[in-house]
Amino acid sequence: MALDGIYLSSLIKEIKDEILNCRVDKITQPEKDEIILSFKVNRKSKKLLISASSNYARVNFTKESKENPMQPPMFCMVLRKYLNTATLVNVSQIESDRVLILDFESTDDLGFDSVYRLIIEIMGRHSNISLVRKRDNQIMDCIKHLSSDMNSYRVLYPGMEYIYPPKSDKLNGFSFNKEGFIEIVNKKYAEKPIDNKLFSTIIAGVSNPLSNEIYYRANLDNIDISTVNLNQVFNFTNIFFNSIKENNYSLLAYSKDGALKDFHCIKLTNLLDKGYTSKEFTSPSELIEEYYYEKDKFDRLNARSADLQKIVTNNLDRIAKKLNILKLTLKECEEMQLLNLYGELITSNIYSIKKGDSSARLLNYYSENEEYLEIPLNENKSPSENAQGYFKKYNKLKKSEENAKIQIKLAEEEEQYLQSVLSNILNADNYTEIQDIRNELMETGYIAYKKASKDKRSKPSKPLHFISSDGIEIYVGKNNIQNDYLTLKFADKNDIWFHTKNIPGSHVIIKSKGPVPETTLLEAATLAAFYSKAKNSSNVPVDYTEVKNVRKMSGAKPGMVIYYTNKTIYVTPRELNLNSN
């Protein structure tokens, strides 16, 4: 679900409690639609993430660290100019809607105190972050510029007057009376029965899941507008929202079949009664972080790697078509032995065949049954020419078969390589890993090489490093360059090598200095399965052997090796709680 105005009120309380009257220490913009404000609180850094993402717009404290671009975006530079060392003096919300205002007090260029407003609109694809000078309501900059071509109601550009989003005709959840409540219910539901979207329809900042919860608690199911007592509904609703104003929050996330499905600062009893499990949090930021972080990261990584996925899938489609053609060629070549037999039988019986014959019925002396074969002939050719014609067709098909087998082997090896690249892309955990895969595809010729300016701070990603439950080091490659490095350069000959059986995935190395306990073998195999294409499968076969039994063929693509004298272990992929760095 999306973060609604009621949940935003719990975040406002947390922000006030944690950083009100604190100074901004650092401002970064790791994403084009996301900023992080760092505050110094009791000599510790407190990071406030503000996102205007179309899918996961939010405001919350975060402990996650993100890599920042080499050149700060313009919006980040503007924020640093006006908000660096500024003090957060007020936090407010527009009624119960999803608009948050952070007021900062700082000193302007002439030494006078000024107040700047950071206005955060959490509204799906229309989400935005604007820096506004309070005294004249002038926009200093916005994270998303909005022109008149895009919106006829308002323009969001530096130098323009800031205009708030259109005011909703819904009630303010924190301030409404009986007359207004009854009036809007009668207006909205004059021609339709009351449903579980009643409260999201009439009250600003109420999401559909919360509306469904209030509807469930009020026991309004199957009640018509003409028979319902709106005075009672108002009284119930008023008590409900007064409880929210008193900060009576229940921070819970709700799961079904092991997957997070919903969250809110109000207890959603209707989900619990449907068998959902819940997890309690002490902070609204921690709850949001758990619910949104992985989803947001997946979306951003997926968007950043979309072109790579397209290149790989297009090449896989090309190979699939090529393999189909080659296999059809092999099928056509199945008749070549018969053509050779025809030529030999004609040659053996050449004196019994005359030019002008359309066919010849000859004994197949190669067959145990000694049956006769009816062999078609070209009437305009001599018996010798007919035999040579069959031999020529045989030789042509023989060469086609040999070439097709070679091409099929090469195509299957390329398909295996590209499947491993696609698996690595989908398992990438950060932008550096995606860039490493991009570089790999440049080196292998799938992407035209582009000489780009390099960030001196950026370094190629390193293989994952884990410590098993038995205290033994395990390394996992996240791309084929890393796989080659681990297997061919880093590992000793007696180290243990793991890879999913006939499934694209990572090379996994156990640094062994003696016998390896079974627990460590299972953990290494589980990591190999988890970082493979079979990540979401069960009972995955994983081969393992000593590194000395693994070798790379000459000319093979990165990460492609052959191995022998291996054993196989079956595991179900899962994320292990192992020490890592």
Domain CATH number, residue 66: 2.30.310.10
547 domain residue, yes or no: yes
Q: What is the DSSP letter of 21?
A: T
φ, ψ at 519 (rounded to 5°): -60, -45
Cβ-in-10-Å burial (0-12, 13-18, 19+) of 145 comes to middle
Q: Which amino acid is at 427?
A: N
* C-alpha distances in Å from residue 219, one per residue of 196, 241, 453, 566: 10, 17, 63, 64
Q: Which long-range contacts (CB under 8 A, 24 or more apart) does 61-65 make?
A: 61/14, 61/18, 61/283, 61/285, 61/289, 62/36, 62/285, 62/289, 62/293, 63/289, 64/289, 64/293
459 domain residue, yes or no: no
Domain span holding position 212: 194-300
Domain boundary among 300, 321, 349: 300
Do the Cβ atoms of 22 and 35 come closer than 8 Å?
A: no
Are 103 and 214 found together in one domain? no
**What per-residue confidence (pLDDT) applies to 488?**
94
Domain boundary among 123, 142, 161: 142
Are 12 and 138 found together in one domain? yes
**What per-residue confidence (pLDDT) applies to 1?**
58
Are 346 and 385 found together in one domain? yes
Distance CA 293, CA 523 (A): 26
pLDDT tens digits along 86-132: 999 999 999 999 999 999 998 766 667 789 999 999 998 899 999 99
Any idea of the CA torsion for 335, 339, 342, 343, to the nearest 10 degrees?
A: -160
Residue entry with tokens 């799938």: 446
Are 517 and 545 found together in one domain? yes
Q: What is the CA radius of gyration of the chain?
A: 35
With a cut of 70, say whether residue 14 has pLDDT above it: yes
Mean pLDDT computed over 219-231: 71
Q: Is 534 helix (H, G, I), strand (E, B) or coil?
A: coil
Q: Which long-range contacts (CB under 8 A, 24 or more apart) does 415-418 make?
A: 415/316, 415/319, 415/320, 415/323, 416/504, 416/560, 417/444, 417/480, 417/557, 417/558, 417/559, 417/560, 418/312, 418/315, 418/316, 418/319
Are 263 and 385 found together in one domain? no
**What per-residue confidence (pLDDT) applies to 437?**
93
Q: What is the DSSP letter of 161?
A: B
449 domain residue, yes or no: no
The model's confidence at residue 453, banded by pLDDT at 50, 70 and 90, is very low
Mean pLDDT computed over 497-513: 93
Are 347 and 379 found together in one domain? yes
Of residues 213 and 149, more confidence is placed in: 213
429 domain residue, yes or no: no
pLDDT tens digits along 99-111: 999 999 987 666 6
Are 330 and 295 found together in one domain? no
With a cut of 60, say whether residue 458 has pLDDT above it: no
Are 394 and 371 found together in one domain? yes
150-154, 202-206, 521-525: the lowest-pLDDT one = 150-154
Distance CA 137, CA 163 (A): 9
Any idea of the CA torsion for 142, 144, 149, 152, to the nearest 10 degrees?
A: -60
Q: Nearest Cα to 543, choosing from 517, 513, 572, 564?
A: 564
Distance CA 19, CA 11 (A): 12
Give me the sheet containing 34-41, strands edge to edge.
24-31, 34-41, 44-51, 58-62
pLDDT tens digits along 23-73: 999 999 999 999 999 999 988 899 999 999 999 999 999 998 888 888 999
The model's confidence at residue 446, banded by pLDDT at 50, 70 and 90, is very high
Mean pLDDT computed over 409-434: 91
Which H helix or E strand runs over 140?
A: strand 138-142
Are 295 and 359 found together in one domain? no
440 domain residue, yes or no: no
497 domain residue, yes or no: yes
Q: What is the DSSP letter of 164?
A: P
pLDDT tens digits along 257-288: 878 889 999 999 999 999 999 999 999 999 99
446 domain residue, yes or no: no
Are 418 and 472 found together in one domain? no
pLDDT tens digits along 181-215: 999 998 888 878 888 899 999 999 999 999 999 99
**What per-residue confidence (pLDDT) applies to 223?**
62
If you average pLDDT over every residue of the chain, what do you get? 90
The number of domains in the chain is 4
180 domain residue, yes or no: no
pLDDT tens digits along 308-335: 999 999 999 999 999 999 999 999 898 8
What DSSP letter does each residue of 409-454 carry, written as one string? HHHHHHHHHHHHHHHHHHH--SHHHHHHHHHHHHHTTSS-----PP
Do the Cβ atoms of 565 and 551 come closer than 8 Å?
A: no
Are 95 and 117 found together in one domain? yes
Do the Cβ atoms of 76 and 35 come closer than 8 Å?
A: yes
Are 289 and 318 found together in one domain? no
**What per-residue confidence (pLDDT) applies to 370?**
78
Any idea of the CA torsion for 297, 298, 299, 304, to the nearest 10 degrees?
A: 90
pTM of the full predicted structure?
Answer: 0.78
Mean pLDDT computed over 342-350: 89
Do the Cβ atoms of 472 and 522 come closer than 8 Å?
A: no
Domain boundary among 300, 332, 352: 300
Distance CA 208, CA 216 (A): 12
